[in-house]
Structure 1
């Protein structure tokens, strides 16, 4: 890895560790192994959002050309959000693409991702199904996002009705993950989800 990238990452890791703002926002980043090419990030779900109380793991890959090109970041923890793929964890955020500037840092990226959780942008989606639900059925979107935060990221809120529907599909031999994904994309309509799975 280029020396400029390594020096920059070392400095940025120190910046994250010593930042009061980062500590207040419950953001964390660390190296994966000895290489500076891969890091592991963690952000807390922001207050007053369906993600509150949950913790989301991120994979951060640093390119050779850093800081002139953005890091490649994806959610490792599954999340129901219009700007994150519910399948791959890929993120749609302008600073991770064409709006990146060499002055930006890992701290900027992590705080921007946390802000994205608080302010979804369904008009610029990564996941069209989630975006449609966010726009057309905001209440179901909130409950679904909260349910995923509980199921995958240790969020505090449990929805007994949703759990019951997942259990009913599991009784038909469907895996929990597939049951949750199908019910979520069918707005928790058990009949539609069953049809979708078995058609």
Structure 2
């Protein structure tokens, strides 16, 4: 059974410190077993300036079992799947310890953004690019950060106008944008596939 009092304590501690670290954790919905973690992209990396959301699922064994974590925000990194957001990190697998917290796990994920491990990849294509053509890797990672991890400065009305100019009906655009929390890229993906 998940230790809910510990989870609440971890959320409070992370909340007190989020101004300094930029890391936050919030419940997704009303259950403490499904959370959303947010980390800022580390300075001096292609991820700088980005804000990355991570889906966190706590299994019954937490804190004795590691939390399930994967990126919601698309990211170009050797140890993170560009398709599913799965993360290859030892503390989320066999190196987990109950002494670790959700915040320390997110700090480790943030550190992974700073120091990729291409010899133990989650995404072989990205790892090969990192090893063989670092400049292309860095510019692709930066482009993905700009495209997927930077909050848009446009308001909802401007986003509706921008997508409606592409030929989609305004009412559908507005409904689609609302269903994806105002994310233009996700809305466009949904509109194109629908």
TM-score by length of 1: 0.74
Aligned residue in 2 for 1:77 = 73
Residue from 112, 123, 129 that aligns with 1:133: 129
Residue from 87, 90, 94 that aligns with 2:86: 90
Note the C-alpha offset of 1:5: 1.6
| Superposition map of 1:95-174 within 5 A | 95-154=91-150
Cα distance between partner residues in 2 of 1:83 and 1:155: 24
Aligned residue in 1 for 2:12 = 14
RMSD of aligned alpha carbons = 1.7
The 3-state SS of whatever aligns with 2:142 is helix
Q: Which runs of 4+ in 1 moved over 4 A?
A: none
The 3-state SS of whatever aligns with 1:78 is coil
Cα distance between partner residues in 2 of 1:14 and 1:31: 12
Cα distance between partner residues in 1 of 2:142 and 2:92: 25
Note the residue ranges of structure 1 that are not aligned, 5 or more in a row: 157-175, 178-199
Equivalenced residues, count: 154
Cα distance between partner residues in 2 of 1:5 and 1:71: 12
Note the C-alpha offset of 1:155: 7.7
Note the C-alpha offset of 1:24: 2.2
Note the C-alpha offset of 1:23: 2.7
TM-score by length of 2: 0.76
Note the residue ranges of structure 2 that are not aligned, 5 or more in a row: 153-184, 187-194
Note the C-alpha offset of 1:109: 0.7
| Superposition map of 1:20-35 within 5 A | 22-35=18-31
1:146 touches 1:155 (CA, 8 Å); kept in 2?
A: no
Cα distance between partner residues in 1 of 2:89 and 2:6: 22
Cα distance between partner residues in 2 of 1:89 and 1:17: 25
The 3-state SS of whatever aligns with 2:3 is helix
Note the C-alpha offset of 1:32: 1.0
